[in-house]
Amino acid sequence: MIFDIQLADELSAIARLPVQEISDMLEIPPDRQLGDRAFPCFKLAKTMRKNPQLIAQEIADNIKKPNFIERIETKGAYVNFFFNRAVFAQTVLEDILNKGERYGSSDKGNGSVVCIDFSAPNIAKPFHIGHLRSTVIGNSLYKIYEFLGYKCIGINHLGDWGTQFGKLITAYKHWGIKDDLEKEPIKALLDIYVKFHDEAEKDPSLEDEARMWFKRMEDGDEEALSLWRWFKDLSLREFNKIYDMLGVKFDYYTGESFYNDKMDRVVELLQGKGLLTESQGALVVDLSQYDMPPCMIKKTDGTTLYATRDITAAIYRKETFDFDKCLYVVAYQQDLHFRQWFKVIELMGFDWYDKLFHVPFGMVSMEEGTLSTRKGRVVFLEDVLQKAVDRTLDIIKEKNPGLENKEDVAKQVGIGAVVFHDLINNRIKDIVFSWDQVLNFDGETGPYVQYAHARAMSILAKATQTITGKVGGDLLTEDETLELIDLLARFPEAIEAACQANEPSIVARHTIDIAQAFNKFYKNHMVIVDDDEMQRARLTLVYATAQVIRIGLGLLGIQAPAKM
RNA sequence: GCGCUUGUAGCUCAGCAGGAUAGAGCAACGGAUUUCUAAUCCGUGGGCCGGGGGUUCGAAUCCCUCCAGGCGCACCA
């Protein structure tokens, strides 16, 4: 934040430490009574060989006070700074007013390219709650990076190739009904897929048939390929329904099949570098000196694997987009897989190996155990979204029956609740799916934030004054007001931190904090009051708050209805 | 067995490039609405920050070790 930099500047002049270091040391006291910012002097004690309390006192006595600091106190080894609340409010709100919906954005990225590989569902398999995380985390990272000036490329690396399609074709040939597939494609595909596994246990020849069909696909057989294409189209149509609901877009849908004709070259490249060794009939890159199992490039039967495709895709993306960073938003189960093939990229001599990042996230399971489509232990995302929307609609009918376009709002809020629920905690945490938690709209939830925003919008609509350029910071000095403004002031830092850690939850948390502070402010201070100046000042704060909440939600891929 | 990861209130979690008395939400109980949306707000109770060692002026945070859970460990993706 600009203030902290200014403060660090002045401190740096006295403490004789670099501004950055000082700025990192600045902290927020545990209690506002102590001050608004604090500078601990313990560390200086060593270099200056002096009692830290004395140092604190010296700093307090000698520092040139920036204009937004009203007074300075010391307590023990801490120098505590108290804001001039009027100046602080004035400056922060002016900044938000000026930047509008770009508040918190920057050009830090300077147009450098970030590829984000996310979502990547398997074709012909239902989109369940486990697939949601990659989708919403990736989508949010896309927006965060873009907001900070990066050029983002969202890639949906569809699971659209492999033996499972041989199975599907076989199953379709035996039991498929075209009408079912057109009507409810995913469910029909899943049905025949499950049936295939049941039948194959009794009649193993079905497996051979499936392999035969996949071989025909790989050989370019038109019948096999057109069925494959049909399945893929049907699936994509279904996936797009969900992506539409979530408001998620991709720049490319280059799935696994896209790299079929590009892998030979990579295998040759590996060969040329002398990295491939034969092991039990398969081709692998030995990684034993890096304490990892070998990375398999070709199976005994000569077909390629996941790693082969990932390596190929990475090289293709580097050549095509010249990315500065490539993020893989994939569950943590695959940690080893990524470490392995990142190492292979390094061994191949590509100096950009350190620009590849696995962004792992925790598992979703059910109380009964891990998700398993085949065992029927699965919750379809569409059902979750639908239930959340239905429940929202019930609540709206009860609480706000006069609301127009109820259905639209219910969608925004219901889906927002599900998305927010997935983004609020650190990505790495496992989630045990619970309807109670997903459908809870109280407290630290998406609807809570949206509600705060709607309240703010409602005030703006009802106000008798309008916002002028004048902020009236001298009227915005109460405790609750300062708390809110300080959170607004620190919002840009939260976005930076989220970007640096590839962690959308940081934005989600901060946005919750703002909503909370706003609700507190709302409770304690009437906005629409007779005093015109006061009304205008508070209105400005309300306007700024709504603006920032909207940005925060937007970065999470969540909408902010004006009424709910 | 080895590797990655998690362990903080009854539950879900934040805090973890060390800093002042460990914070939220949910659940429970008790309050607040003739005023801008009560999907809200206020209050009460609830904690050997997994255990033990170490580093430090200072450790939930860093290091070591142990314990417990999750995940992974070549022909699936």
What pLDDT score was predicted for residue A1? 57
Q: For A321-358, give one letter per residue: b (16+ CB within 10 A) or e.
A: bebbbbbbbbbbeeeebbebbbbbbebbebebbebbbb
For position A120, what pLDDT does the model report?
A: 94
How far: A428 CA to B16 C1' (Å)?
A: 14
* Distance, Å, A256 CA → B70 C1': 29
Q: Which ranges of A32-128 does DSSP label H, i.e. alpha helix?
A: 42-48, 52-62, 85-99
Q: Reduced to 3 states, what is the DSSP secondary structure of residue A282?
A: strand
Q: What is the mean pLDDT of chain A?
A: 93
pLDDT of residue A107: 95
**Over the stretch A190-208, which tens digit does the pLDDT of each residue have?**
888 888 888 888 888 888 8
Helix (H, G, I), strand (E, B) or coil at A63: coil
Non-local (6+) Cβ contacts of A557 within 8 A are: A136, A139, A140, A143, A246, A247, A248, A419
Q: What is the mean pLDDT of each run of 10 residues along chain A (564 residues)?
A: 82 85 90 93 85 92 91 94 95 95 96 97 87 96 98 96 88 84 82 85 86 86 92 91 96 94 94 94 94 93 90 97 97 96 96 96 89 79 95 94 94 97 96 93 96 97 89 92 96 96 98 97 95 94 98 98 96
List bases in chain B with any atom under 7 Å of a protein Cβ.
2-6, 12-27, 35-42, 57-58, 69-77
pLDDT digits (tens, 9 = 90+) for A38-87: 999 998 888 788 899 999 999 999 998 899 999 999 999 999 999 999 99
Our measurement of CA A233 to C1' B77, in angstroms, reads 20
- Contacts of residue A498, defined as CB under 8 A and 6 or more positions apart, other chains included, come to A144, A504, A505, A506, A507, A555
Nearest nucleotide over every DNA/RNA strand to the A445 CA, judged by C1': B25
Per-residue confidence (pLDDT) for residue A383, from 0 to 100: 92
Q: Which residues pair with A432 in a beta bridge?
A: A365
